[in-house]
Amino acid sequence: MMNEQQVDLKQAALIGMNWIPCGRNNVQEVINPATGHLLGTVPKLSKEHIHNAIEIAEQAFNAWRKTSTNHRCAILTKWYQKIEENEERLASIITLEQGKPFAEALGEIRYAASYIKWYSQPTLQDNGSIIKGDVENESLSIVTEPVGLCAAITPWNFPAAMLTRKAAPALAVGCSIIIKPAPETPFTALALSELALQAGVPPGLINVVTGDAPVIGDILCSSKKIKKLSFTGSTLVGKKLMQACAPTVKRLSLELGGNAPFIVCNDADVDKAIDGAMQSKFRNAGQTCVCANAFYVHDSLYERFAEGLEKRIKALSLGQGSQPHSDIGPLINESALEKVDALVRDAKEKGGNIVCGGSRWSESDRWYLPTLITQATVDMRCVQEEIFGPVVALVRYSDEDKLIAQLRLQDTGLAAYFYSDSLSRIHQLAAELNVGMVGINTGLISDAAMPFGGVKSSGVGREGGRQGIMEYLETKYIKLCY
Ligand code: SIN
């Protein structure tokens, strides 16, 4: 892990081939969440800068869309290689600005790179077809074309992977992109984009704009030149962006909040379920859209599961992401800590039993203690809302049909997990759970080759896999008479 002095942060925005430095006053501060110290600054770009970025990215698109698939994929492969060569530095930047342990940050860089590798396969773009019409001398063909200039608004929790998951398919099919990274984590986006330029991505295809989120968001959403917006973040902001994009009828991909149930059925392998629960829940200190949120444990296994989980949770070590053995880093900021604490207090008031944790860490109030709540009930906020913190609440159930019926009414539908050894139940539950992704006997489901996304308030569209490429393509029908 490199320290703050060694990483050499790019404290500038990227428009075309120009790095826009920080002015004297108009800057956005980036704080290391583990120390509360200033890590660096990026510019608060003016409206003119954003309009300029749109012009430049549109020009770049007009040249790029005419290049061959092989050419684009070869450049993506070089970007992938650059990321591989620089993985220690990139992971250090994530740890410094986001807080996750270095080993997890390295995992995220490899995960991010895997999207570029996946989308650098030319064969993925074999989407057209030609058929002979009913009438002689007539051919009917379908071709795909890049949607055009795209905008991406990326989150702080996975600052590398959520960027490449959008930028790689966009560039692969011939689009250009303007990225607005989360204000908490711009340096990862800037470092990745710098490597893209070094890899030979032509200037103007990847632009990184920093500054005032509502101002930038308004310009990107209302611009007629931007044909698509991809956003990962909260459902609340996703709905606002959807409205803001309505006048220009933009294509949208929205990966929004989840509230993934984790169900331990009566025939589950409890030890494996505990492993899966730990992997899913404590990844990035619980600050993951797709992580297990509310745990439903069958009455017959409840005590065994709770006891096993308690031991594992108590063994987690807290510390700065830069320290070799830390499992849990700080939460991203004060409002995240306050939200998690409010949910735990609500559970306590409603009769929840705090088995361990339940407060901030005595050594630093930037961490929330890994917390286990038993006797949780469905009226508690930590069961109904996305926690985004290291808190496990165990709800006891005995009637599976009733549980599934109740889960189907949930407003969100990103992911669901369950543990069972019965083949018929596996098929039945996988079909009944009304979500975009299901993990069965596993707590980790993310994979560049597979479509990631949710239903209902958890979003629209898919990222990753073959489905992810279609999000950046338009379909054109051509009828030729000869
Ligand atoms: C997320 O929090 O939505 C991203 C997690 C992942 O891709 O695995």
Whether residue 236 is predicted with pLDDT greater than 90 in this model: the reply is yes
Report the pLDDT value the prediction gives residue 7, as an integer from 0 to 100: 94
Sequence spans of domains, the chain: 12-256+458-481, 260-447
Whether residue 162 is predicted with pLDDT greater than 90 in this model: the reply is yes
Q: Tell me the pLDDT tens digit for each residue of 380-436.
A: 999 999 999 999 999 999 999 999 999 999 999 999 999 999 999 999 999 999 999
Q: Tell me the pLDDT tens digit for each residue of 266-279.
A: 999 999 999 999 99
User: Which atom of ligand 1 lies nearest, measured to the CA of 288?
Assistant: 2
Contact 458 CB / ligand 1 (< 6 Å): no
The CATH class of 260-447 is alpha beta
Report the pLDDT value the prediction gives residue 130, as an integer from 0 to 100: 87
- Look up the pTM and report it: 0.97
Portion of the chain with pLDDT greater than 70, in percent: 100
In whole angstroms, give the CA distance from residue 471 to residue 147: 8
Report the pLDDT value the prediction gives residue 131, as an integer from 0 to 100: 87
Contact 11 CB / ligand 1 (< 6 Å): no
User: Which atom of ligand 1 lies nearest, measured to the CA of 287?
Assistant: 2
User: Which atom of ligand 1 lies nearest, measured to the CA of 255?
Assistant: 3
In whole angstroms, give the CA distance from residue 106 to residue 164: 15
Q: Tell me the pLDDT tens digit for each residue of 244-302.
A: 999 999 999 999 999 999 999 999 999 999 999 999 999 999 999 999 999 999 999 99
Dihedral sign from CA coordinates of 12, 13, 14, 18: negative
In whole angstroms, give the CA distance from residue 174 to residue 165: 15
CA of 288 to the centre of ligand 1 (A): 6
Whether 382 contacts 391, CB under 8 Å: yes
Q: Tell me the pLDDT tens digit for each residue of 292-329.
A: 999 999 999 999 999 999 999 999 999 999 999 999 99
Question: Nearest 5°: CA angle at 183, between 177 and 189?
Answer: 45
Report the pLDDT value the prediction gives residue 355, as an integer from 0 to 100: 98
What CATH number belongs to 12-256+458-481?
A: 3.40.605.10
CA of 386 to the centre of ligand 1 (A): 14
In whole angstroms, give the CA distance from residue 40 to residue 30: 5
Q: Whose CA is nearest to atom 8 of ligand 1?
A: 446
